Amino acid sequence: MYQVKLTAIGNSTGLILPKEILALLNAGKGDTLTITRTKDGIALTSYDEKFARQMEVGRKIMREDRDVLRMLAK
């Protein structure tokens, strides 16, 4: 288990990840990470462009076909 402290970065708040955590994420300076809410808190994962595109397609379908999806859920 690692503990990190929040720090001021300009007008924002950030945290510094230990190199061991970056190695686990296969991430480094300038990379993008994804934060996902889970039932236990949050999950931090490496950004997956393919997954992000799939999620955007899913969101678009949910917006455009909202009524059909509601009927199917019944």
Taking the mean position of all CA atoms in its chain, how far away is CA 67? 28
Token pair for 38 = 């889970």
User: What is the structure's pLDDT at 41?
Assistant: 95
pLDDT in tens, 15-68: 999 999 999 999 999 999 989 899 999 999 987 788 878 888 988 988 888 888
d(CA 33, CA 67): 33
Backbone angles phi, psi at 68, to 5 degrees: -65, -45
Q: What is the dihedral of CA 39, 45, 48, 52, to 10 degrees?
A: 30
User: What is the structure's pLDDT at 49?
Assistant: 80
